[in-house]
A and B are shown apart, each in its own frame.
Chain A
Amino acid sequence: MESLLLGFSVALQPDVLWYAFLGCLVGTVVGVLPGIGPLSGISILLPATFGLDTTKSVVMLAGIYYGSQYGGSTTSILMRIPGEASSVMTCIDGYAMAQKGRAGAALCIAAVGSWIAGTFGVVMLTLIAPPLADFALRFGPPEYAALLVLGLILLAYMSSTSLTRTLLMACVGLLLGTIGIDNMTGHFRYSFDIAELGDGIGIVPVAVGLFGLGEILSTPSATVVRDVMAPRLRELLPSRREWRQSALPIARGSVLGFLIGLTPGSAHIISSFLSYAVERRLSKHPEEFGKGAIAGVAGPESANNAASTGAFVPMLALGLPTGPITAVLLAALMIHGVAPGPTLVNEHPDIFWGFVASMYVGNLMLLALNLPLVGIFVNVLRIPYTYLYPLVVMFCIIGVYEVSHSIVDVWIMLIMGIFGYGLRKFGLDPAPLVLGLVISPILEMSLRQSLIMSNGNWTIFFQRPIALALLAAATAMLVLAVLSVQRQRKDWRRQLAEAEAGDSA
C-alpha cells in the first residue's frame, strides 16, 4: 500500500499527469486511425521522449498503448473499420448497433467496459507483479532459457497464423538478433564491415519498418474510402436494459483478457476473439449476435483492454516482453538506462509504482476523453489518406534517425518496410519476428551461460525444478499445437486468422 502511495505521489505530479494525458490522447488518435497501430505510434514517438526522464517517458508511451485500445473501438463501431486488429470483433455488433441508431450506446459501453477492464487489469498488476518479481529472483540462466523457450512455443500456439509460420518468423527474428559483436567472444557476426552493425540491429528500425512503412506500402491510397458517421451526443447513454446486458460480459471479458494478456503473442487480439465466442455461447439469445447484441461489444472491448494491461506483468516483473509493443517499451526503459526485470521493483520503486499508478489515472483520463470528445476524434478520420500517409512516412524516417542519429538504421527501416510488404503479401505475421529479435540476446546468453556453468552438460535444464517445469509446459504446448494442426479442425485460431485477413484486405 505504501508503495502504491509512493506511485501516486509520482503519478499525480502535474508534469507526469501531462505526459500521461498526452500519451492517452495520442494513443486514442493512433487507435482511431486505421493503418497506424500502437507499435508504429510508440516507435515513431520514442525519440520524442529522449529529453524526458524515465518515468514520464514510459508513462507517455504506455498511455499510447492502452489509449489505442480505447480508440480502436470508435472506427469499428462507426465505420466497420477496425482501427486496431483487436477491434475486429467489435465491428460485427458495434456497427450493427450503429445502423440501428445505437452508435452512442455502443461507444459508451465500449468506453466504460474498457475503463472497468483496464482498472481491473491495473489492480491485478499491482497485486501480482511484485511477488512474481520476487519469485523471479530465483531464476538463473537455465530458468531464463527455459522460460524464453516456453514463451516462443506459447507464441506459436496462440498465434493467429500457423505454428510453422510463427516459428519461422521467430527464427528470422532470433537470427537478426545475432547480428553484431558476440558479447562472450568478441567475434563480429554478419556485420559486413559496417561499423553500425557491430552494435546489432535495433528494435525500433525493425518495428517501424515492418509495422509502419510496411503497412503503408501495402495500402494503396485508392483503396482507402472513408464514410464518416458522427454520433449524436445525446445518444451516448445506453438504456437500463443495455447496461444490464453488458455487466456480466464486461466482468468476464476483464478476467479472460487479463489472463490471456499474461501470455506471449497477439494477446489483445486473441482475448477479444475468445470473449466474443464465450459471450455468444453463454447468451440466451445467440441469434442476436451479428445483428447488434451489446454483449458482443462489451465483452471483446473489455477483454482487449484487460489483455493490454496484463501484458505489463511479465514485462515489469520478469523483464520479458510478450509482444512487440512491450518489447519497444522495454527498449525505452533500456535507452533511459533502467534495466528491466525482477530488480526493477526494488531498485527503481519510483519508476515501477509511478508507472502502475499512472495507469489508474490514465484509464480515468481515457474515459473522460473518449466519451465527450468522440465527435472530435471521428473528425481525425476526415484527413484524406493521400495526405496522411506521406506524414507517417516522414515520421518513420525522423523517428528512426533520431534514436541514434544513424542513417544505417533508416536504411534498415526501409529494407524492413519492403520486407514487411512481402510478408503481408504472403500472409506471414511480422510480430513474432520482432519478438524474436528482442529475446535473441537474452536467449543466446542464458543458453550459453547454462552450458558453461554445467560444463557442457545439457541435462542441466532437467535437473533444476523450475526449468524442468517450464520445459514440460513448453513440450505439452507443442504437442497440443501439433495435435491441433493434425486434426485440421476449424478452431478459434483459424477463425482469428480469417478475421485478421479480412481486416487487412
Chain B
Amino acid sequence: MLRTDHVVGGLFVAFGFLILALSGDLPLGTLSFPGAGMMPKLLACLLVMFGLALALHARGSEPLASLSWRDLPHAVQVAAATAVAVAFYQSLGFALSMGLLLFALTFGVERRHPVLAAAFSAAVVAMTYLLFAVALKTPVEQGPFGF
C-alpha cells in the first residue's frame, strides 16, 4: 500500500537528483579550495539519502488514501486569487490590486454579501494605505490613478 512517506521520500529523492543535474556547471573544487558546487552537491546527496531513508521506513506513516483533500478547493481559490493580485500589483498599484483581492476573497470565495464585501475591501484598503503611506511613511506601490 502506498503511504505518505513513500510519496514524500520519492519527491525529495527526485528533487535531489534535479539539483545534481542543475549543478553540472558548478565547479566542485578541491579540498584545499572548495568550489561553488561543493556545498550544493553535498546537500543534494544528503537530500537523496534522507529521502530514501524516509521512503524505506514509510511503514509507520499514514496510507496515502487516508489523506483528506477537502481543504484543497479553498486553497486553490485563495492561491489563484493571490497569484492574480501579485501579477497585477505593480501595474494596478496597491489600492486597486489589494481592493480587488479582498473583494475576490470575501465575495468570490467566501460568498459574503457583495455590498458588505465591497465596503469591507474599500475600508481596509483605505486604512492600510493611510497606515503605510501616512503614519509609517513607507510608500506603497502606486497605480495608474496615483494611489
Contact = CB atoms under 8 A, between A and B. Distances in A.
Nearest to A179: B40
A190 interface: yes
A425 B70 CA distance: 11
A456 B30 contact: yes
B46 interface: yes
Interface stretch (A71-79, A109-117, A332-340, A413-421): A413-421
Interface string A376-407: 00000000001101110111011001100101
B67 A220 contact: no
A405 B53 CA distance: 41
A426 B120 CA distance: 35
B71 A218 contact: yes
Given A213-B82, A394-B101, A426 B7 contact: yes
Nearest to B53: A164
A213 B105 CA distance: 14
Contacts of B35: 185, 187
B124 A168 contact: no
Interface stretch (A134-142, A170-178, A237-245, A307-315): A170-178
B136 interface: yes
Interface in A184-243: 184-185, 187, 189-190, 213, 216-223
A426 B8 contact: yes
Contacts, number: 160
A47 B54 contact: no
Contacts of A451: 31-34
A457 B30 CA distance: 11
B27 A187 contact: yes
A171 B52 CA distance: 14
B98 interface: yes
Interface residues of A, number: 62
B142 to A, nearest CB: 12
Nearest to A505: B68
A447 interface: yes
A45 to B, nearest CB: 10
B36 A175 contact: no
Given A48-B138, A164-B57, A184 B90 contact: no
A364 interface: no
B54 A397 contact: no
A397 B36 contact: no
Which secondary structure dominates where chain B touches chain A?
Answer: helix
Q: How large is the interface on B (under 10, 10 to 19, 20 to 34, 35 or more residues)?
A: 35 or more
Nearest to A394: B98
B12 A168 contact: yes
A178 B40 contact: yes
A129 to B, nearest CB: 30
A83 B46 CA distance: 35
Given A168-B47, A393-B105, A189 B40 contact: yes
A184 B53 contact: no
Contacts of B30: 456
Contacts of A447: 34, 39
A165 interface: yes
Nearest to B12: A168
A411 interface: yes
Contacts of B137: 51
B36 A182 contact: yes
A219 B44 CA distance: 32
Contacts of A187: 26-27, 35-37
Contacts of B8: 426, 428
A212 B137 CA distance: 24
A440 B39 CA distance: 9
Of B19, B44, B50, which is in contact with the most chain A CB atoms at under 10 Å from its CB?
A: B50
Contact of A448 (B4, B34, B57, B105): B34
Contact of B50 (A164, A418, A452): A164
B140 interface: yes
A452 B79 contact: no
A457 B67 CA distance: 49
A286 interface: no
Contact of A217 (B61, B79, B106, B138): B79
A175 B43 contact: yes
A402 B132 CA distance: 10
Interface in A61-102: none
Nearest to B47: A171
Contacts of B136: 48, 51
A471 B28 CA distance: 25
28 contacts: A48-B132, A48-B136, A168-B50, A175-B40, A175-B47, A189-B26, A189-B37, A213-B82, A216-B78, A220-B71, A223-B71, A386-B106, A394-B102, A397-B89, A401-B89, A402-B132, A402-B138, A414-B83, A414-B86, A417-B79, A421-B79, A426-B8, A427-B4, A448-B39, A452-B32, A452-B33, A456-B31, A456-B33
- 10 closest cross-chain pairs (CB), A and B: A456-B32, A456-B31, A187-B36, A182-B36, A390-B105, A217-B75, A220-B74, A168-B50, A386-B110, A444-B39
Given A185-B36, A426-B67, A451-B34, 20 more contacts: A48-B136, A50-B138, A167-B46, A168-B12, A171-B50, A172-B12, A174-B43, A178-B43, A189-B26, A189-B36, A390-B106, A391-B102, A393-B101, A397-B85, A397-B101, A398-B94, A398-B128, A448-B38, A451-B31, A452-B33
